[in-house]
Structure 1
Amino acid sequence: MDTLRMETGAAIDRAMGALVGGALGDALGMPTQLLSPARIGELYGPVEDFVAPAADHPVSKGLAAGTVTDDTEQALLLGRILVASGDGFDHTRWVKALLDWEREVKARGSYDLLGPSTKRAIDAINDGVPAEEAGRSGDTNGAAMRIAPVGIMMPLEPLDALVAKVAETCRATHNTSIAIAAAAAVAAAVSCGVAGGDWAAASDRAVVAARQGAERGHWTTGGDIAARIDWARGLVRGNAVTDGIRLIVDLVGTGVASQESVPAAFAVLEIAGGDPWRAAVISANLGGDTDTIGAIAAGMAGACAGFCRLPQEHVVRLKGLDMAQVRALAADLVAARMAKSSRSGKDAAA
């Protein structure tokens, strides 16, 4: 019993690391998203801490320094739906939650923070398109940015079960081969971290999961996610941070396309050596979709490092995040993971 309690406690710590690490990357990249590296330098200098966005920022103006955005909010929303759904996935509840969340975001005046695939799918659902069809053109990074709870809940093995759960959660908004492959890569990395793996092992498992994910959903054109993750990691390996950032910006790309931002996040993880805060800082200075790249990279790093190794002096300054709720969600997701692992073990023994 003591051993199980210790294993559960370690898993919850890593689950918290994934969720809060993602929030750190999201909040640090909030004021720099959509800006060029040159403009980031002009407005803020090198971003090494939370800063308030410029007064004329296209989407983040008015937010306080350290505020999380849609990346974190949608991840927590998905996590709650996963827990409530049990062994299945309640698509009706998920779509309703997204629609309710959309209305709340609009009320806050921040509708432009929605990603293009999610916005398009939600608009389609509002117009009466069935949820299972609404996501057939969603190929951007919205699924990957919020997928961490699936990685927390699903054991790494059997991998096809994890990838199937990823695909299931993608159906309403990102039901394409590229988006599912990207989300599967991130979920596998997080799952590996929660299981005790380090960041390098997590990246390796991500490539395998991406290959499986690419076989699901509606096929869409674009670079192969698994190949691009592997290439991006090798491209920056051994480079100094400044050189690594230049390679990511010039060659990998930092846009909302899954085949840019997700490989970019794995390249950031490589440069950062698995350090969550360093990953968040690097991401914030890339330009482009900085908050999402930061959320993904720092979330994966956080899953491997654990909450206890996150910089607590920065964690306490996050805004828009209820830590008690995050802790409860992490515990619920880990409990579901342990139950699945227990059943899988019994099945194997039988």
Structure 2
Amino acid sequence: MQEREKRIFGMLAGCALGDAMGMPSEGMDAKTIRTTFGTIRRFLPSCEKDVLGRSFKAGQVTDDTINTLLVCDAVIAGQGSFDPFVYLSLLQTWICENRGQSQYMIGPSTKQALQAIADGIPLEEAGRNGTTNGAAMKAAPLGIISDYKRLDQLIDHVSLLCLPTHHTPVAIAGASIVATLSSYALQGGCDMEDMWELAERVCSHRRAYDLAAELDDIREYMIRHEKAEILRYLEKKGNRHRNDPDDPGRTDTSRTVRSGSV
């Protein structure tokens, strides 16, 4: 296996490992995580307090990993390019073939967008309300086909990824940070200061948000949501897989993003 292939494998394995570690506490607040699990340091099954009512086994992944692999499948189908129509078709097929799981595996923005498409809304309009982190969670594979040194092209790739379900400035900006750090890591980058600088550069990049959007609004959202998932890890410089009880919410996504992109 070549060095780049090893890094790609590590990126995908990191996504899955982080996702599975965060799965049991997904959606819980800090107090519930602390009283139920303390600090999660190994794979655990979902419990009776699972906010989605799941009965997942220890080590089982969520929609974060499923979508990440579907993005990979779309890139493979496109022989190195990404087509949102191909990705959407793969996602719809997976949902149809996994009815038992998909009810727990599709986020609110994705569910809303898929319903809009089923109702006849054009793909270009279906994702205009998607502001959740469903874009960031699956963006790491775009680092394989994008170069962080060419941000315009990278953000264009991310915009295509976001088109069906999360085509909003904040979602595109958040996912662009993930893809940028993924590209940096896949090229052998590992300097924390570089990662900080790259995240800030993407956050300030004109192509990452609509010209009509206010930069201050984007910055505020990024600090509170997408960007914070990565930068919190950079700040701690600690174990990217450990679940911190003071880091609640979408613990599956935050671990997927951290482990897959940095």
SS at match of 1:30: helix
Check if 1:141 corresponds to 2:133.
yes
Distance 2:240 2:191 in 1: 12
Corresponding position of 1:253: none
Note the C-alpha offset of 1:20. 0.9
How many residues align? The count is 261
The amino acid across from 1:208 in the alignment is R
Distance 1:110 1:60, change over 3 A: farther
Alpha-carbon distance, 1:260 to partner = 2.9
Structure-1 residue corresponding to 2:174: 182
Note if contact 1:284-1:290 (Cα within 8 Å) is conserved in structure 2. Answer: no
Q: Which amino acid aligns with 1:264?
A: A
Alignment of 1:294-313 (within 5 A): 294-301=255-262
TM, length-normalised to structure 2? 0.89
Map of 1:246-257 to 2, 5 A cutoff? none
Structure 2 counterpart of 1:207, from 200, 213, 227: 200
Question: Once the 2 structures are TM-superposed, how far is the Cα of residue 262 of structure 1 from its aligned partner?
Answer: 2.0
Query: Structure 2 unaligned runs (5+)?
Result: none
Residue of structure 2 in register with 1:63 after alignment? 56
Contact 1:184 1:209 (C-alpha < 8 Å) held by counterparts: yes
Aligned ranges 1:209-224 → 2 under 5 Å: 209-212=202-205, 215-216=208-209, 224=217
Conserved? CA contact 2:40–2:242, under 8 Å: yes
User: C-alpha separation between the residues in 2 aligned to 1:181 and 1:286?
Assistant: 22
Report how far residue 203 of structure 1 moved: 3.3
Structure 2 distance, partners of 1:24, 1:132, is 33
* Structure 1 vs Structure 2 CA RMSD: 2.4
Deviations 1:322-343 (A, max 9, x none): xxxxxxxxxxxxxxxxxxxxxx
Alignment of 1:241-320 (within 5 A): 260-273=224-237, 278-282=239-243, 286-301=247-262
Q: Secondary structure at the match of 2:242?
A: helix
CA offset at residue 104 of structure 1?
3.5
Would the alpha carbon gap of residues 20 and 48 (structure 1) be closer, same or farther in structure 2, given more than 3 Å must change? same
* Deviating more after overlay: 46-55 vs 278-287: 278-287
Question: Quick one: distance in 1 between partners of 2:195 and 2:233?
Answer: 10
Residues 266 and 90 of structure 1: is their aligned pair in 2 closer, same or farther, counting only changes over 3 Å? Answer: closer
2:4 corresponds in structure 1 to 11
8 Å Cα contact 2:174/2:226 also seen in 1 = yes
1:69/1:86 CA distance change after superposition, 3 Å: same
Q: Displacement, 1:22?
A: 1.3
Deviation at 1:59, TM superposition (A): 1.9
Name stretches of at least 5 consecutive residues in structure 1 with no aligned partner.
1-7, 229-256, 302-350
**In the aligned structure 1, how far is the partner of 2:234 from the partner of 2:85?**
38
Hey, what does 1:102 align to over in structure 2? 95
CA distance in 2, matches of 1:300, 1:170: 17
1:127 is aligned to 2:148: no
Distance 2:174 2:166 in 1: 10
Indicate the structure with greater helix content: 1
Q: How many Å apart are 1:119 and its aligned residue?
A: 1.1
Pair 219,141 (structure 1): closer, same or farther in 2 beyond 3 Å: farther
TM-score (norm 1): 0.68
Cα deviation, residue 112, structure 1: 3.5
CA contact (8 A) 1:137 1:174 kept: yes
Looking at structure 2, the residues matched to 263 and 175 of structure 1 have their Cα atoms a distance apart, in angstroms, of 17
The structural deviation recorded for 1:216 is: 4.1
Supply the distance in 1 between the matched residues of 2:167 and 2:30 (Cα, whole angstroms).
Answer: 32
Q: Which residue of structure 1 aligns with residue 160 of structure 2?
A: 168
SS at match of 2:176: helix
Q: CA deviation at 1:271?
A: 3.8
1-side partners of 2:214 and 2:165: how far apart? 17
Q: Does 1:81 align with 2:74?
A: yes
Aligned-residue offset at 1:126: 1.2
SS at match of 1:75: helix
C-alpha offsets along residues 106-161 of structure 1, whole Å, 9 cap, x if unaligned?
x1244143121111111111111111110111111111100010012212222211
Aligned residue number for residue 154 of structure 1: 146
Structure 2 residue aligned with 1:193, among 185, 209, 223?
185
